[in-house]
A and B are shown apart, each in its own frame.
Chain A
């Protein structure tokens, strides 16, 4: 369809923003240091020069209120894309997201649209310590009225972000900060990817590895390693965490009978728990083994690069979990 090229994950996000700014004059960007500096991770670099200060608006350090400004602007005919520099800082803005953005369509009905996107850099891998490395998606998955998107590849990040900007509901768009400086294949030209659809990134028949975000790469590596042992793993990238693509998950588990769930966020009350329960509800009779769940332990993410690395599910752990599930573990 399209020819591919390799670009950085951050460039893919920037392309999505630039294309949507170009396409729709009601789109604008709002956030801390997103102007001349280009944001903490350089994602918006060059956009101020290209689109001007009415489309790329630097804010003071006031997360709750500039998210609220986004909500108010979205209610009145704009399509703001708000950057929260680190997902940890979204804690400061939960009131506007949870009590306002998420509620308006349900409460005010059809007259109220909140086409707001919150882009935020999440997760670890950069040794930024406990207040700059969290994956807080479960908070928002648990808030009806918010859509939650978590791409694990540059191609998906671009296509999903464009759809998120065009969507009439508030969307939390989670970018794994460890991927920004990774080069990945991205199609040339204009494309979008629908929200709410998972993707089978590798087809297999023996075990389903269900994951999202940065862990997709670990899962793919695990699948390659398992293939060497003659185990055919299917990798399901959720891409959208709310609404979950139950059908794709269930179809995969019905085929393989074995489910591994892996994510970077901590274990208790995480997205993995929800996925596991949905599998139980929809595919219990197909399961040949207990569901295996891999996640960060229930701890603040430590600073030390070694401790941090040991906190997240690795390809090796996914391999081990798959073997365990198939009765081939030690």
Chain B
């Protein structure tokens, strides 16, 4: 396989940007500068970037509560995402959405989602539009393993199957729905096997392997674009931080966390790039530095941005009746 090495470097750069962004958000919460809550995707960057890079730019993406990485992978502006987390006027949702409710339709990002499993039918409906309008687009639906126990998962996969919709359901199985381990919530060992119940292909992949994710999504996208219908992918991964702000992770061992830390997707891709001769240690350090600067700039932008205007609460502009 001949690789476009510069594209690989871009993907690596994007993964590091997501990592740095999430770490910064964690720091800002710890410092008391950010309020509310946030769900961080540290450790899951290969899923976000590997999946999105396998799509065409016009393709659509839906996300869930752990959505900063998905949005950044699709091309979201770190400044406006950060501004939304600060509740500021230039935030993607002008302070009305926060961490779980941001979208940018122009770049095909149909939104993160605060209800577990809530985005699955919406992705399915977007795929129905794509099919009816014959626009050749496919929809990538990010969901967590917890969402596979929601009715919407089963109902939506079934409908997507019978209508052969151009949609890819990518389940990031990070093992825990908040504190509940997937083995306590479902007896099926590989969640991709659930696809069989709907007559769909299902595939379990190593979610911390950028190349495995990219290849599986590319195959599923090809299948979707050729009118053969949806695919369920299960990417086995791990969220290195807690479920949300304030999670002390008492439900899992530090040994387990260490084991997964050794499977971190970023050094894994970095090592591969060095082997391919695409990256040197010096370039690696520069990429990290640039990512940190982008994130710092985003924080400065968000800090100095104006607050979301209270006049909009009753202006009728954002909510008519």
Q: Point out residues on A near B: beta carbons under 8 Å.
A: 26, 28, 54, 57, 59-60, 62, 64-78, 80, 95-96, 99-100, 103-109, 111-112, 144-147, 169, 196, 242-243
Contacts and interface: CB of A to CB of B under 8 A. Distances in A.
B122 A72 contact: yes
5 contacts: A67-B121, A69-B121, A76-B110, A100-B115, A147-B321
Given A68-B120, A69-B128, A107-B97, 18 more contacts: A54-B132, A68-B124, A69-B156, A72-B110, A72-B129, A74-B125, A76-B126, A78-B125, A78-B129, A80-B125, A95-B115, A95-B118, A96-B118, A96-B121, A104-B103, A105-B319, A145-B319, A147-B320
B121 A68 contact: yes
Given A78-B132, A106-B319, A169-B320, A65 B101 contact: no
B254 interface: no
A75 B113 CA distance: 14
Interface string B139-176: 00000000000011001101100110000000000000
Nearest to B125: A72
B64 interface: no
Contacts of A67: 121
Contacts of A147: 320-321
A109 B110 contact: no
A65 B133 CA distance: 21
Given A54-B132, A75-B126, A65 B104 contact: no
Contact of B125 (A73, A104, A105, A106): A73
Contact of B128 (A78, A103, A112, A144): A78
Chain B interface extent, by class = 35 or more
Contacts of A96: 118, 121-122
A71 B122 contact: yes
A145 to B, nearest CB: 5
B114 interface: yes
B318 A109 contact: yes
Contacts of B114: 99
Contacts of B118: 68, 95-96, 99-100
B106 A99 contact: no
Nearest to B100: A107
Contact of B159 (A54, A60, A100, A111): A60
| A-B residue pairs, 9 tightest by C-beta | A72-B125, A68-B121, A65-B155, A62-B155, A72-B122, A69-B125, A76-B129, A73-B125, A243-B321
B121 A76 contact: no
A80 B122 CA distance: 13
B182 interface: no
A315 B132 CA distance: 48
Nearest to A98: B115
B122 A75 contact: yes
B159 A59 contact: yes
Among B103, B106, B124, B321, the one with the most A-chain Cβ atoms within 10 Å of its Cβ is B321
Contacts of B152: 64-65, 68, 95
A99 B115 contact: yes
A109 B319 contact: no
Among A76, A96, A145, A242, the one with the most B-chain Cβ atoms within 10 Å of its Cβ is A76
B126 A105 contact: no
A166 to B, nearest CB: 14
A145 B321 contact: yes
A65 B156 contact: yes
A163 B73 CA distance: 39
A65 to B, nearest CB: 3
Given A64-B151, A145-B319, A243-B320, A73 B158 contact: no
B221 interface: no
A77 B96 contact: no
B235 interface: no
Contacts of B121: 64-69, 71-72, 96
A28 B131 CA distance: 13
B125 A111 contact: no
Contact of A68 (B96, B101, B156, B162): B156
B159 A108 contact: no
Contacts of B60: 76
A96 B123 CA distance: 12
Nearest to A169: B320
Contacts of A80: 125
A76 B139 CA distance: 11
Contacts of A54: 132
Contacts of A66: 121, 155, 159
B202 interface: no
B96 A112 contact: no
Given A65-B156, A75-B110, A112-B103, A70 B321 contact: no
B196 to A, nearest CB: 17
Given A59-B159, A68-B118, A75 B125 contact: yes
A24 to B, nearest CB: 13
B94 interface: yes
B125 A68 contact: yes
B93 interface: yes
Nearest to B108: A76
Nearest to B113: A100
A278 to B, nearest CB: 14
Contacts of A242: 321
A297 B233 CA distance: 51
B132 to A, nearest CB: 6
Contacts of B318: 105-106, 109
A76 B321 contact: no
B81 interface: no
A254 to B, nearest CB: 24
